Chains A and B, each alone.
Chain A
Amino acid sequence: MKLIEFTTKGLYCRQADIYIDPWKKVNYAMITHGHSDHARWGHKHYLCVHSSVPILKHRLGAEMNIQGINYDETITINGVKFSFHPAGHITGSAMIRAAYKGEVWVISGDYKIENDGLAEAFEPVKCQHFITECTFGLPVYSWSPQREVIDDINRWWNGNVQNKRPSLITAYSLGKAQRILSSVDTSIGPIYTHGAIDQMNKVYKRMGISLPETTHLKNSFDQKELSKSLIIAPPSTVDSSWGKKIKNPSLGIASGWMTIRGNRRRRGGDRGFVLSDHCDWKGLLTAIKESGAQYIYPTHGNTDTFSQYLNEVGYIARPVKTEYNDNSLNETSVE
């Protein structure tokens, strides 16, 4: 019996009777991070790192039974030692380590190895079995350093200010939005956000994370005010009645999928900014190497291809079917 099993409800540790990021309702769930495909509603008990607790409560309801734990702190359940380690994906994201009788597993959740200055920075964790995401597990995905991408965003914003056009940038409301907010040049103009992002910013601020001043862009506003602004909105809201009220914006899309020209053209974006909260191809390979694991289980993304490659270069890899979101085409795709 392996320490972690792949069941129809999710990743399961039988010895401790707990699930990790389950997609069906369970009694006890350990959660890697707050994105909706990993932290689902309806479990009886939740455990996540402290900085993820307010995020989960905001998304799932304050009445939910959500316990916090420190990074690197160990909790033992029926002999299995669990600990949470920074995954660098978003604020409060963790990789979960499980150890029992010398068998060590790490469940990555989502992760990125570049330090974005906002999320707790990724730390490799040694293990024998590594369950890894591979959202961008193809050699075409290669990220430029964050600084360069943000410089690009600043230049685009500046250019739009010259042309008196609002700069509308899409970013997922948890993580990406705050990452952009905390790194762009705020001297260029005022920053507005969609309500969902405004709410999430408040959650961040209550945790003591400082973010630049922003205005919640409500349903009625003065178009003229927007001409110098950067507006951050979740992807799905661009075509909503709210999004359509913004006249003649330049549309920027911040996502790893923007690597591919066809993706940007399909979404009708004026500019694609390749900015992802996941690893690129080289990042994944680095993380896998640093884990020291022999057994690799790619979950969401190009799992078949990625596994085949890992097998060729000497790992023992087996793709695992999960219900984590690997859909590049879904506008609200979690990234």
Chain B
Amino acid sequence: MKSFANLFSEIDASTKTRAKVKALEKYFTHAPDQDKLWTIALFSHKRPKRTISTTLLRTWAAEVAKIPTWLFEESYHVVGDLAESISLMVYDGTYFASDKTLTNWINNIQKQRDKEEEEKKEFVIKAWKELNQKEIFLFNKLITGGFRVGVSQKLITKALAKVLNQEENQIAHRLMGNWSPDTTTFESLLIDENIHADLSKPYPFYLAYAIEEDPASLGPISDWQAEYKWDGIRSQIIKRSNEVFLWSRGEELVTDSYPEFTSLKEVAQDGFTIDGELLVIKEGEIQSFNILQKRLGRKKVSKKMLSEYPCAILAYDLLEYEGEDIRNHHLNNRRTLLKELIQKWQSESLDIPIIFSDSIDFESWEQLKSIRSTSREKHAEGLMLKHVNGVYKIGRKKGEWWKWKVDPLTIDAVMLYAQRGHGRRSNLYSDFTFAVWNEAGNLIPFAKAYSGLTDKEFGEITKFVNQNTIERFGPVRSVKPELVFEIAFEGINESKRHKSGVALRFPRIKRWRKDKPASEADTLENLKALLN
């Protein structure tokens, strides 16, 4: 735990990439293999199964700190992180030098699963007594999950590549998929010759940046291919050794939730990986993200669900073909192979819900611009621009792929409720509920948003909230309806569940309208007019 705690401190103490990679390299050189594996897992948000509930942790922490539970909760809202709050309140300045390894701690935590509550309590309180504040924080994190340390997969990949003397691309690929330190070893995950020992292993996604400049600056249009940027879930569908695997962008294996795709087992081809967008497509019509949400996160899917919200993939890239990694082929070639593959299934009248995502014909950037402006009607977020000779890269890279989204919809709204944020924004009011006026002159809440402002602005708002609180509901405060913000969002749908009758897609704060009094904010009527 000591060396893991040191690694954590070093990473946490720096905003510089180089220092972080250096700290990781040092750790990957010295730590025991199983600790390394756990560290990679934890930093990639693969947390061990929770064996002790946070409710219990809260109760015990208040007990150890000798404070009422309401005060514990109040303090937690100020700190914004449960593991950290507990560590600050239970640590009494004394600890024992403990040399248990990270893996040892994790195993001990795992063992608590079937224990009685009293035994769990004894284990946790003993740990809190044994460790120092920083270690208590990490120990709690091992239970609660959610390490946010400012280490991207990219940095881990970089450090591992250096230490293991391998290509970064190789490492990135090896780290994909749903491996767990319980089921694999450092050796087999990162060093073993056979990278496809795990049949289901997906490829790292190539992600695009938003284009900031005029696309005309990209050069001749003949170099570029345009497609709609579909508003669904980015997915990879894999068939290897006659098994089918569906991965979502969050590196989640979701095959069982989408039985539509089991029909792929019937096709003759094997050893391919398709990159595309998962969507609900009913009777040939692409449905909104709002509809797709009815399928997301559901483990079991009823027949009714399947017939009401049938899913399909709009396929736009092919990464593996006939068992061969073809990511280094040009986009044009990959798409030609993809198109042939899908056409073959169609010609055989196989019912495979995978559709080729056509590229858009255009003669000029101007023409493309006007096509882009109609994206929303097609349930697309805008366009994707891809260089026809580009290879399939790893992660977010500039140059050959760009997303060119339509401008968001906007509305001016009044802030009604505020709640303190987490992490970097702990102690700042940063999560807000916004409202618009109805005909009777009442403010109707319609959206929550928490991003889009600077820390300085959040600071100013926090001051306002402190001075203008009307009522407190736990961590939430209702405030005088005075501040007006321009809220941007990607889409709007009718919703019976919401008081306002609408649900927004990805609402965020565009800017603070200091020039507008609350009375001049938009009305519910204005908002609903955007439905069409």
In the complex with contacts A140-B88, A142-B88, A263-B71 CB distance below 8 A: no
In the complex with contacts A144-B93, A262-B423, A138-B78 CB distance below 8 A: yes
In the complex with contacts A266-B455, A312-B68, A330-B459, A140-B427 CB distance below 8 A: no
A259 lies within 8 A of chain B by Cβ: yes
Report the bound CA distance from A302 to B71 in whole Å.
11
A6 lies within 8 A of chain B by Cβ: no
A139 lies within 8 A of chain B by Cβ: yes
B84 lies within 8 A of chain A by Cβ: yes
State whether B427 touches A260 (Cβ < 8 A).
yes
Interface size bracket, B side: 35 or more
A303 CB to closest chain B CB (Å) equals 10
In the complex with contacts A139-B89, A329-B459, A265-B71 CB distance below 8 A: no
State whether B78 touches A302 (Cβ < 8 A).
yes
A142: contacting residue among B12, B91, B150, CB under 8 A: B91
B81 lies within 8 A of chain A by Cβ: yes
Among residues of A, the one whose C-beta sits closest to the C-beta of B460 is: A329
A15 lies within 8 A of chain B by Cβ: no
Q: Which residues of B contact A142 (CB under 8 A)?
A: 88, 91, 93
In the complex with contacts A139-B71, A305-B71, A262-B89 CB distance below 8 A: no
A327 lies within 8 A of chain B by Cβ: yes
A206 lies within 8 A of chain B by Cβ: no
Q: Which residues of A contact B79 (CB under 8 A)?
A: 140, 260, 262
State whether A309 touches B71 (Cβ < 8 A).
yes
Within 8 A of A (CB), among B56-92: 65, 67-68, 70-72, 74-75, 78-81, 84-85, 88-89, 91
Within 8 A of A (CB), among B407-439: 422-428
State whether B71 touches A140 (Cβ < 8 A).
no
Q: Which residues of A contact B12 (CB under 8 A)?
A: 261, 265
Within 8 A of A (CB), among B258-289: none
B14 lies within 8 A of chain A by Cβ: yes
Among residues of B, the one whose C-beta sits closest to the C-beta of A309 is: B71
State whether B71 touches A262 (Cβ < 8 A).
no
B426: contacting residue among A144, A260, A305, CB under 8 A: A260
B470 lies within 8 A of chain A by Cβ: no
B13 lies within 8 A of chain A by Cβ: yes
B248 lies within 8 A of chain A by Cβ: no
Q: Which residues of B contact A309 (CB under 8 A)?
A: 67-68, 71
State whether B428 touches A329 (Cβ < 8 A).
yes
B13: contacting residue among A139, A141, A270, A327, CB under 8 A: A270
As a 0/1 sequence over residues 1 to 44 of chain B, the CB contacts with chain A under 8 angstroms (1 = contact) are 00000000000111100000000000000000000000000000
State whether B463 touches A327 (Cβ < 8 A).
yes
B389 lies within 8 A of chain A by Cβ: no
Q: Which residues of A contact B51 (CB under 8 A)?
A: none
B interface: dominant SS? helix
In the complex with contacts A140-B78, A144-B93, A262-B427, A270-B462 CB distance below 8 A: no
Report the bound CA distance from A259 to B78 in whole Å.
11
Within 8 A of B (CB), among A111-152: 138-142, 144
A172 CB to closest chain B CB (Å) equals 18
State whether B423 touches A265 (Cβ < 8 A).
yes
State whether B15 touches A262 (Cβ < 8 A).
no
Listed residue (A257, A260, A327) with the most chain B CB atoms within 10 angstroms of its CB: A260
In the complex with contacts A327-B463, A329-B428, A329-B462, A261-B81 CB distance below 8 A: yes
A189 CB to closest chain B CB (Å) equals 20
Report the bound CA distance from A265 to B13 in whole Å.
9
Q: Which residues of A contact B75 (CB under 8 A)?
A: 138-140
Among residues of B, the one whose C-beta sits closest to the C-beta of A329 is: B459
Among residues of A, the one whose C-beta sits closest to the C-beta of B134 is: A261
Q: Which residues of B contact A260 (CB under 8 A)?
A: 78-80, 84, 88, 426-427
B16 CB to closest chain A CB (Å) equals 9
In the complex with contacts A262-B80, A262-B426, A265-B423, A305-B13 CB distance below 8 A: no
Q: Which residues of B contact A164 (CB under 8 A)?
A: none
A318 lies within 8 A of chain B by Cβ: no
Report the bound CA distance from A88 to B462 in whole Å.
30
B107 CB to closest chain A CB (Å) equals 27
A238 CB to closest chain B CB (Å) equals 13
Report the bound CA distance from A308 to B67 in whole Å.
12
As a 0/1 sequence over residues 230 to 262 of chain A, the CB contacts with chain B under 8 angstroms (1 = contact) are 000000000000000000000000000101111
Q: Which residues of A contact B423 (CB under 8 A)?
A: 262, 265
Q: Which residues of A contact B67 (CB under 8 A)?
A: 139, 309
Report the bound CA distance from A305 to B74 in whole Å.
8
Among residues of B, the one whose C-beta sits closest to the C-beta of A304 is: B472
Listed residue (B13, B81, B84) with the most chain A CB atoms within 10 angstroms of its CB: B13
Q: Which residues of B contact A266 (CB under 8 A)?
A: 424-425, 428, 455
Report the bound CA distance from A305 to B78 in whole Å.
11
Report the bound CA distance from A144 to B91 in whole Å.
11
Among residues of A, the one whose C-beta sits closest to the C-beta of B458 is: A329
Q: Which residues of B contact A329 (CB under 8 A)?
A: 427-428, 458-459, 462-463
A262 CB to closest chain B CB (Å) equals 3
A271 lies within 8 A of chain B by Cβ: yes
Report the bound CA distance from A260 to B89 in whole Å.
12
As a 0/1 sequence over residues 204 to 248 of chain B, the CB contacts with chain A under 8 angstroms (1 = contact) are 000000000000000000000000000000000000000000000
A328 lies within 8 A of chain B by Cβ: yes
A212 lies within 8 A of chain B by Cβ: no
A292 lies within 8 A of chain B by Cβ: no
B432 CB to closest chain A CB (Å) equals 16
Q: Which residues of A contact B70 (CB under 8 A)?
A: 308
B193 CB to closest chain A CB (Å) equals 40
A68 lies within 8 A of chain B by Cβ: no
A42 lies within 8 A of chain B by Cβ: no
Report the bound CA distance from A79 to B385 in whole Å.
84
State whether B13 touches A271 (Cβ < 8 A).
yes
Among residues of A, the one whose C-beta sits closest to the C-beta of B85 is: A140
A113 CB to closest chain B CB (Å) equals 16
B141 CB to closest chain A CB (Å) equals 11
Report the bound CA distance from A141 to B85 in whole Å.
10
A140 CB to closest chain B CB (Å) equals 4
Q: Which residues of B contact A144 (CB under 8 A)?
A: 93
Among residues of B, the one whose C-beta sits closest to the C-beta of A257 is: B427
Report the bound CA distance from A329 to B74 in whole Å.
18
A249 CB to closest chain B CB (Å) equals 12
State whether B427 touches A138 (Cβ < 8 A).
no
Report the bound CA distance from A268 to B455 in whole Å.
11
A142 CB to closest chain B CB (Å) equals 7
As a 0/1 sequence over residues 309 to 334 of chain B, the CB contacts with chain A under 8 angstroms (1 = contact) are 00000000000000000000000000
A143 CB to closest chain B CB (Å) equals 10
State whether B426 touches A263 (Cβ < 8 A).
yes
Listed residue (B65, B424, B463) with the most chain A CB atoms within 10 angstroms of its CB: B424
State whether B15 touches A270 (Cβ < 8 A).
yes
State whether A139 touches B65 (Cβ < 8 A).
yes
Report the bound CA distance from A287 to B423 in whole Å.
32
Q: Which residues of A contact B422 (CB under 8 A)?
A: 262
A144 CB to closest chain B CB (Å) equals 7
As a 0/1 sequence over residues 438 to 480 of chain B, the CB contacts with chain A under 8 angstroms (1 = contact) are 0000000000000000010011001100000000000000000
Q: Which residues of B contact A261 (CB under 8 A)?
A: 12, 81, 84, 426
State whether A138 touches B74 (Cβ < 8 A).
yes
Report the bound CA distance from A47 to B462 in whole Å.
34
Besides the contacts A265-B12, A308-B70, A330-B459, what 4 more A-B pairs have beta carbons closer than 8 Å? A142-B93, A262-B79, A262-B422, A327-B463
Q: Which 3 A-B pairs have the closest CB atoms?
A: A262-B426, A329-B459, A140-B88
Q: Could you give 30 example pairs across A and B, Cβ below 8 Å?
A: A138-B71, A138-B75, A139-B65, A139-B88, A140-B85, A257-B427, A260-B78, A260-B79, A260-B80, A260-B84, A260-B427, A261-B426, A262-B426, A265-B150, A266-B425, A266-B455, A268-B15, A271-B13, A302-B74, A302-B78, A305-B71, A309-B67, A309-B71, A312-B68, A327-B459, A327-B463, A328-B427, A329-B427, A329-B459, A329-B462
